[in-house]
Chain A
Amino acid sequence: MIAANDCLLMSGALFALGVAGVILRRNILVQLMSLEMILNAANLALAGFSRAHGNLDGQVMVFFIITVAAAEVAVGLAIVVILFRLKKTAHVHELAGLKL
């Protein structure tokens, strides 16, 4: 029997990993993967809580998230492909045209 707390711990760890990946990694593709990890952390938490509360709201929400995440990644990869064609790079530190 998996308790809600275990789900929360697991999803919290995934979430932290994802955020760390986006902030620390410098390759845009790896950053996109980390973004997926954040979304999946939310999915896991929703599914776990859904089980704990005994209603299906959270699991239905998961379907919406999966759909939206697919759209987001499609757009994201398209933009990265354009960037690669223009600059021949997928590294963040070479994006210095706009001063940060």
Chain B
Amino acid sequence: MTELAATGLTLAGRLAGADFRLSPGELVVIVGPNGSGKSSLMRLLAGQGHPDSGSVRLDGNEIARFDPRERARRIAYLPQRAEVAWPIAVADMVALGRFAFGGAEVTRGAGDAGQWLDEVGCAPLARRSTATLSGGELALVALARAFAAETPLLLLDEPTAALDPRRQIDVMTRLLARSRAGQGIAVILHDLNLAAQFADRILWMRDTRIVAESTSDAAAVEANAAAIFEVSVRIESGSDGRVQTLAVQQDRPSRPE
């Protein structure tokens, strides 16, 4: 069982004393205003760069000590911006997710790319050149690449930012299914509606700190959203107590007529 645990992560001006834990089978959502340190946190959790203080431990061992491939076999991390420098085929790009498992796996992965593309609803794109993709399609293909690594843990930085509403829900549904199948997933979102509907836990960040951790039940989401984003939210919850829809409103109740 792979576990990721961070204590007291600090990065000058960007992150202060963040504690974090991710276990298999859970879907953790990180939310917070722009510049609140979400991406910096996730980068450190993925073993990219070194904190000024604090530590990230993967299965009890300092993450910096891991061989890069060894680490990449346990954690897949999807950066915020999907980029591709050459017009390679979509299937080849997805197969690059198998890199940490050796060259033969990458070659095999190009043939198996369909299964991961299917997960993000992009199976028909397999033969296309990545140069012809739209921003949203490229983001989905990059997500398929992270899926292709089939790691116990998955760290995703705003995978839904470029997607239409249907695709956002599809992606979150996939992530939920993957977490129920045993994968531990942490995902940064800006959409409180998605966060509240899918998260097992929500981490709330503000001004470089993790200021709250909550479940996704209506009262907790409402209170934290008001405190952190300075917005008020209106929530409809289902009979099971989970949030069904969440609407964000301006904090001041009345607008000048």
Query: Do A and B originate from a single complex?
Result: no
